[in-house]
Structure 1
Amino acid sequence: MRAFFLLWLVFMLMTIGSRIYAQDVLVKGVIIEKGTNIRIALGVITNKHSGKAVGSNDLGIFNLKVNLGDTLLIEKRNFVSQQIVVNSNKDILIYLVRSSVTLDEVTVKGKTKIEDLQEIRREFKRQGSFYEGKPPLALLNPLNGSPLTFFYELFGKTPAKARRFKRYYDKELQLMQVDNFFNKTLVSKHTPLEGKNLDKFMLEYSPTAEMVKHWNNYDAVNYIKLSAKKFADTLKN
């Protein structure tokens, strides 16, 4: 009986200990297309231990509660999935490798990304969606309009896909515009940052699409230098 009690006590202590060390932390991360500085929106991040999942926002950023040691599965259509183990509560940078671009029967290879996106938009038009799911009210005019086209664009399956893709297309263009002025090559050229500090700087000081809308190269370099100085000051604290 005493031996049984001791075994039970050891088991309880181990259980309590494991709960103490299973630290529940909020992890922040960002998903980026490898080889570029383009953020990946609508990625799915799943905690394989708890089964909880979240999506990345328009800037590729996500927040997820995990225990240290949990494994995260990062997935995004047309990208190679990746798994990482959470070892700390520091920000996570995830670089996904693009696979072939596929949308239903549309497969576009060997072109630049913008050409890929434009080709998919043209394919939707070839499939009969000329207004990308957003028809003008003028189509309702029974004399010189086309009411059938109007309602097809609103409720048809292909226009619905075209409408979703248009939102994705617009976001990608914004991210590419940011990448033109804020990328690792340019930052490395004008700052001494490297390694983890460079990654952290890229995550924390990335400008918005609205900010870079009217930038030229001088504006970009000036922003990078000023931001790098602020970042360096935070490292001293």
Structure 2
Amino acid sequence: MISFVFLNQLYIYRRLSILIAFFVCLTFSVSAQQVVYFKGVVFKKNSPVTIAFASVTNLSRKNIPEVLSDNVGSFRIQAAIGDTLLFKKTEYTPQIVVIQSYSPLSVYMQAVIHLEQVTIKEVSKQKELNDALDNYKKKGQYYTLDPSVLSVLISPLSGLYELFGKAPAQARKFQQYSKQEMERIEVAKRYNKTVVKKITNMPDEDLEDFMFNFTPNVEDIRAWTDYDIISYVKRSYAYFKANRNSYKLQKLN
């Protein structure tokens, strides 16, 4: 028969083992939360180029001051496992990193792409087109390009001429061309070969074919932000490369 003393000792040993295991886990937990100096280097994404003077902020610990990477991109900041670091630099997208080990950190920041608008003399172009329409009008070739029903009833001959006359028809056709030309200029200010090449760095031999097949309409350009344009160009170019032969323009001899 097992003695009462033996059972009592076994119970004590079990409780003691549980306490020891608890304190070991607690020690590891405290150790994991220990604030130490973490080192790392900030790089430009997809490049071996380092980023100097990027700000590094420990978002998890407000009492730790912000630091800057040095002139070769290296930084050193106080933190603990599980802390969140924020990296910021002008002309780069902010980057958030959660510390998961004591290994040196390699942080990669995405450079911001700025879309340059092409300078187009749209005011002069608009004036030129309007002057051409005024010349039609001054020559008495039309009064209004969109006569109302009332004007037709008041002056049937003039109204019928405005509707079916050759000169007003030519003026309307020119007016439509003028509208399309101004819309083309509006698109080209934000979506042009310079912008597309900057985003994709595509070879010149592909540029003409790509622009012919993947230029958006004016309604899209009016609604899109720069980010929307960048995303559209990247998606379209990936599709273009996968189906390049289908989009090759036929060269005329």
TM (norm. structure 2) is 0.42
Q: Greater helix share, 1 or 2?
A: 2
TM (norm. structure 1) is 0.44
Q: Greater strand share, 1 or 2?
A: 1
